[in-house]
């Protein structure tokens, strides 16, 4: 990993005062004196906080599926991973590291940041790639230099914190002028779907993992029943992914996290524009078909996304 080399250290910043950090036993800010340890080869600029469920989830479930990850990456970023060779890429909220791994395999230099202990999974997944650095940090206090990345992407992340707009701002500012940013967030559904989901999650987010996990396994079974899996999931969310592990993991990913906000395309486009991005494109979902398109356009597909990519203006 380029973790301890000069190139990475150049990129690191104190999350409190945004100044470069010095390397010693720990990373240390020359101005405020704050120090940040490294453990298991991972610089730790933040503790796990409110995302502990993700640490559990990504360390428990093995979700790398090469072909599917490649397709998902292309759909959710609008970028063909084969074009990433030599590019400096930020995976903002890398989770267990499946997309950081993908970008590294295509020759990118990748910095993956996540707040949870999922960084340990990401680190072990990417350990054979010298050009990947995994950092534990908070996107709202990013320990990275501004205006340096050729591409930043954030897939299913910003809606899992108390301040999605603030996290967006910080990620958007790490992209260099002329660089690209792609963001995928949960779509806001119809009011009845939103009410039911909030009521369900008000319960599930309070359950201990030893109870919630078996419930997610049960939902995994529901998600395998033909007809039911395509109809009932318009009422309440459960995964109907054909792969059992991904189905159970997706269910836990929906019902465990403390924060989950839903957004509109207009809102996300406004965020891009406010941060000085042009060439905005709304990226279409993976699934197509007349019925699906109709349900998607009418915000009826629970768990679907709003997905926008844009280019940072050179004058900003």
Ligand X SMILES: C[S@@+](CC[C@H](N)C(=O)[O-])C[C@H]1O[C@@H](n2cnc3c(N)ncnc32)[C@H](O)[C@@H]1O
Contact set with ligand X (CB under 6 A): 51, 54, 58, 93-95, 98, 113-116, 118, 138-140, 155-157, 160-161, 167, 253
- Burial of residue 211 (number of CB atoms within 10 Å: 0-12, 13-18, 19+): exposed
* Nearest CA among 310, 312, 306 for reference residue 78: 310
Q: How far is CA 251 from the centre of its chain?
A: 16
* 280: its two tokens: 């905005």
Shortest CB 258 distance to ligand X, Å: 10
Shortest CB 95 distance to ligand X, Å: 3
Separation of alpha carbons 39 and 248, rounded Å:
30
Shortest CB 297 distance to ligand X, Å: 24
The DSSP bridge partners found for residue 66 are none
Separation of alpha carbons 280 and 287, rounded Å:
21
Shortest CB 113 distance to ligand X, Å: 6
Shortest CB 106 distance to ligand X, Å: 17
* Nearest CA among 166, 164, 75, 88 for reference residue 131: 88
Q: What is the DSSP letter of 226?
A: T
CB nearer ligand X, residue 74 or residue 313? 74
Separation of alpha carbons 268 and 270, rounded Å:
5
* Nearest CA among 63, 96, 101, 97 for reference residue 81: 101
CB nearer ligand X, residue 109 or residue 160? 160
CB nearer ligand X, residue 44 or residue 98? 98
Shortest CB 123 distance to ligand X, Å: 13
CB nearer ligand X, residue 132 or residue 139? 139
CB nearer ligand X, residue 61 or residue 293? 61
Q: Cβ–Cβ contacts within 10 Å for residue 24, how many?
A: 8
CB nearer ligand X, residue 141 or residue 313? 141
Shortest CB 214 distance to ligand X, Å: 21
Separation of alpha carbons 124 and 143, rounded Å:
21
CB nearer ligand X, residue 253 or residue 299? 253
- Which residue minimizes CB distance to ligand X? 95
Give buried/exposed letters for 214-243 (b at 16+ CB in 10 A, else e): eebeebbebbeeeeebeeebeebbbbbbee
Shortest CB 126 distance to ligand X, Å: 13
CB nearer ligand X, residue 56 or residue 313? 56
């Amino acid at each position: 990993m380029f973790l301890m080399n000069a190139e990475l250290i150049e990129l690191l910043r104190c999350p409190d005062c945004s100044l470069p950090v010095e390397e010693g036993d720990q990373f240390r800010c020359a101005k405020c004196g704050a120090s940040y340890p490294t453990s298991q080869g991972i610089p730790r600029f933040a503790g796990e906080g409110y995302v502990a469920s993700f640490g559990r989830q990504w360390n428990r479930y093995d979700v790398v599926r090469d072909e599917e990850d490649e397709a998902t990456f292309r759909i959710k970023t609008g970028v063909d991973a084969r074009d990433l060779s030599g590019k400096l890429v930020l995976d903002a909220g890398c989770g267990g590291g499946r997309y950081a791994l993908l970008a590294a395999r295509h020759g990118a230099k990748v910095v993956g940041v996540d707040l949870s202990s999922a960084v340990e999974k990401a680190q072990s997944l990417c350990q054979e790639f010298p050009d990947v650095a995994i950092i534990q940090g908070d996107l709202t206090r990013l320990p990275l230099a501004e205006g340096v990345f050729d591409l930043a992407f954030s897939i299913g992340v910003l809606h899992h914190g108390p301040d999605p707009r603030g996290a967006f701002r910080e990620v958007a500012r790490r992209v260099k002028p002329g660089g690209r940013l792609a963001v995928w967030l949960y779509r806001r559904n119809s009011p009845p779907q939103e009410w039911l989901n909030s009521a369900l999650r008000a319960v599930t987010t309070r359950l201990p993992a030893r109870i919630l996990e078996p419930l997610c396994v049960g939902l995994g079974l529901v998600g395998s029943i033909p007809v039911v899996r395509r109809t009932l999931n318009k009422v309440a969310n459960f995964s109907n992914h054909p792969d059992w592990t991904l189905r159970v993991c997706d269910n836990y990913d929906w019902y465990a996290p403390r924060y989950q906000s839903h957004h509109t395309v207009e809102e996300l486009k406004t965020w891009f524009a406010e941060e000085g991005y042009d060439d905005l494109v709304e990226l279409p979902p993976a699934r197509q078909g007349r019925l699906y398109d109709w349900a998607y356009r009418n915000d009826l597909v629970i768990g679907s996304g709003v997905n926008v990519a844009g280019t940072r203006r050179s004058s900003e």
